[in-house]
Amino acid sequence: MEDLLGQNKVIDESRQGEATMMKNENSHPKKKMYIENYGCQMNFSDSEIVASILTKEGYETTDKETDADLILVNTCSIRENAETRVMNRLGHFKKTKKQNPGLIIGVLGCMAERMRETLLEKEKLVDIVVGPDAYRSLPSLIEEASEGRKAVNVLLSREETYAEISPIRLSSNGVTAFISIMRGCDNMCSFCVVPFTRGRERSRNPETIVKEAHELFAQGFREVTLLGQNVDSFRWNMSSKGVIKDESLPTVNFAGLMEMVAQVSPELRIRFSTSHPKDMTDEVLEVMARHENICKYIHLPVQSGNTDILEKMNRGYSREWYLNRIAAINRIMPDCAISTDIITGFCSETEANHQDTLSLMKEVDYDFAFMFKYSERPRTLAERKFEDDVTEEDKARRLQEVIAIQQESSLKRNKNHVGKTFEVLVEGLSKRSREHLFGRTTQNAVVIFEKGNHKPGDYVHVKITGCSSATLQGELVN
C-alpha cells in the first residue's frame, strides 16, 4: 500500500496490504475452498472460523485458486484503496468463472453490507454475499447459490461471537495464533467505517477464550494475540451471559481476562490489539507488569496530536490525556514498546494541527507506527458533516513528514538495543537465508540470528549485534 512505512509489516490491511492465502493440509474431504483474505487481524481470525464451519460441511482448503470449487474473498472497507483492490480481484475471479461455470464465488467481511447491490446485481461479480455476523449461514447460502440463486445474508447481530467454534488455523507457523475476544465497535470515531460494517460491540465468554488458549498451547502454540477493536472495553458479566444487568454480579474486565489467559502457562506469551487511549486503565498496565508472559508492547493509536482534530474525530481524549497514558506506561513498565496509528489530512487539519502531530511523535518516540492519508468513508459522521478539504498533495506531503520522523525514531530505538541480550520466541526461518531463524522479543522487535540447533516454538537468548530501522541482527547466547 502506498501510504505505509514499509518496515512495519503485519497481517493487517488496515496497516498493510498483502492478501494472505489460506491453507490447511490436515483434512481430506472432496470439495475445495480457496479463501483470500484482506483487512485486519480480525478478518484473518474470521476466515479461520469460516474454514471451521465449512470443513464440517465436507470442504477442504486449497492454496490454488485454480483447484477451487468455492472461492471466498474476505474483504475490507477501511480506506477506499482497500476496496478498489478487492473489486479488481473480483473482476479477475469473474473471468475464472467464465471458464468454470460451476465455480461459486462469495464475498465475506466488511464490504458485504455496503456493496451487496453492486456485487450481486449491478456488476454481477459474485454469487454469495455474507456479512461478518452471518457466517453460520454459509452452508445454506452455498446450497442456494449452487441451485443458481443469488444468496445474501448481511444481518448484523448483537450476540454472535462464534464463541464455541474452534477455528481452523490457516497459514499457520504453528507458534503464534489469534484469538478473537470481542466483535464490533461502539465508538463511532467520525472517520471510521468499522461500526457500520461490523455492528455493535459485544464481548465473548471468557471461559471459551481461556479454553481456546489451553488448546492452542497443547497443540504447541507459544503465543496468542487477543483481538478486538477496543480491547479495553472488554466486559463480561459471569452471571448474566455477558449482558450487564446487575453491576453487583461478578464481572470480568480486560485486566481480569488477561490475568486468566496469563495463567494458562508461563510458556505462553500473550499479546493484544487494539488498545484505546480513552479506556486504557492503569489496572491493565499493572497486570501486564505483573506477568512476565504478557508481552511488553502496546499499540496505542493516537491518530492526531492536536486536541481540536481529536475532538472532531470523536476519539474521546485530548493530546494531554493521551500523553498522560504514555507517561503511565513508561512509569509502570519502563521497558514497554509503544506503537501507534496516524491519519494525515483529516477534515480541516491545518499546517499548525499537523505540526502538533509531528511534535507528539517526537515526544513519544514510538517504536513504530502505521501511517495513512485520510480517506473519506460512506455513512461516517465525517462524510455526512465535514468537508474532505485537505488537498491530496498536502495529505501526501504530511504523510511523508510523519514517515520521516517515524523512521528516525525506529532506527534510534533499534540502535539502543545493540549490545543487549533478549529472550526471543522463534517463529520460523528467515526469508533471506535458510541458515537463519527469525523471532520476536517481548517488545515485538524482529530479530534474525543463525539457527544453531533451534526450531520454531523455542525460546532462545540472543545478543543484538546490529540493526536496520526494521530489524535486529544478533547471535545466540547460552
Query: Nearest approach, Cβ of 199 to ligand SAH (angstroms)?
Result: 14
Query: Nearest approach, Cβ of 15 to ligand SF4 (angstroms)?
Result: 12
Range in contact with ligand SF4 (rule: CB under 6 A) among 90-98, 183-191, 207-215, 232-240:
183-191
Query: Nearest approach, Cβ of 15 to ligand F3S (angstroms)?
Result: 8
Contact letters for ligand SF4, residues 209-238 (x by CB under 6 A):
--------------------xx--------
Q: Closest by alpha carbon to 167, among 178, 182, 156?
A: 178
Range in contact with ligand F3S (rule: CB under 6 A) among 2-10, 89-97, 190-198, 355-363:
190-198
- Residue 327, C-beta contacts closer than 8 angstroms, at least 6 positions apart: none
Based on C-alpha coordinates, what's the Rg of the chain? 22
Regarding 192 and contact with ligand SF4 (CB under 6 A), the answer is yes
List, as one string, the DSSP characters of 219-265: TT--EEEEE-TTGGG-EEETTTTT----TTS-EEEHHHHHHHHHTS-
Regarding 50 and contact with ligand F3S (CB under 6 A), the answer is no
With CB under 6 A as the contact rule, the residue among 42, 189, 227, 252 that binds ligand F3S is 42
Regarding 185 and contact with ligand SF4 (CB under 6 A), the answer is yes
Query: Nearest approach, Cβ of 409 to ligand SAH (angstroms)?
Result: 17
Sheet strands (E) in 388-458: 421-429, 436-440, 446-450
Contact letters for ligand F3S, residues 128-167 (x by CB under 6 A):
----------------------------------------
Q: At 16, phi and psi to the nearest 5? A: -155, -155
Report the partner that residue 343 touches, choosing among ligand SF4, ligand SAH, ligand F3S, none (CB closer than 5 to 8 A by kind).
Answer: ligand SAH
Q: Closest by alpha carbon to 227, among 241, 213, 243, 237?
A: 213
Range in contact with ligand F3S (rule: CB under 6 A) among 36-44, 60-68, 240-248, 380-388:
36-44
Cell of 68: 477451487
Regarding 45 and contact with ligand F3S (CB under 6 A), the answer is no
- Give contact residues for ligand SAH (rule: CB under 6 A): 14, 78-79, 191-192, 229-230, 274, 276, 301, 303, 341, 343, 372, 374-375, 377
Regarding 39 and contact with ligand SF4 (CB under 6 A), the answer is no
Residue position matching grid coordinates 543463525: 450
* Packed helices 351-364 and 392-417: angle between N→C axes, nearest 10 degrees: 10
- Closest residue to bound ligand F3S by CB: 39
> Under rule CB under 6 A, how many of the chain's residues touch ligand SF4?
10
Contact letters for ligand F3S, residues 197-226 (x by CB under 6 A):
xx----------------------------
Regarding 189 and contact with ligand SF4 (CB under 6 A), the answer is yes
Helix (H) or strand (E) holding 138: helix 138-146
Task: Tell whether omega for the bond before 274 is within 30 degrees of 0, i.e. cis.
Answer: yes
Measured from the CB atom, is 282 or 341 closer to ligand SAH? 341
Query: Nearest approach, Cβ of 303 to ligand SF4 (angstroms)?
Result: 8
Measured from the CB atom, is 79 or 183 closer to ligand SAH? 79
Regarding 13 and contact with ligand F3S (CB under 6 A), the answer is yes
Regarding 40 and contact with ligand F3S (CB under 6 A), the answer is yes
Cell of 219: 497443540
Residue position matching grid coordinates 496509528: 341
Q: At 157, phi and psi to the nearest 5? A: -120, 155
List, as one string, the DSSP characters of 294-353: B-SEEE---B-S-HHHHHHTT-S--HHHHHHHHHHHHHH-TT-EEEEEEEES-TT--HHH
Measured from the CB atom, is 13 or 60 closer to ligand F3S? 13
CA distance 447 to 441: 7
- Residue 113, C-beta contacts closer than 8 angstroms, at least 6 positions apart: 131, 154, 156, 196, 197
Show the CA angle centred on residue 2, arms to residues 355 and 169, nearest 5°. 115
| 248 touches 218 (CB < 8 A) | no
Q: Looking at residues 257 to 296 of the shown chain, list those that interact with ligand SF4 (rule: CB under 6 A).
A: 276
Query: Nearest approach, Cβ of 151 to ligand SAH (angstroms)?
Result: 29
Under the rule (CB under 6 A), what is the footprint of ligand SF4? 185, 187-189, 192, 194-195, 229-230, 276
Under the rule (CB under 6 A), what is the footprint of ligand F3S? 13-14, 39-40, 42-43, 76-78, 109-110, 193-194, 197-198
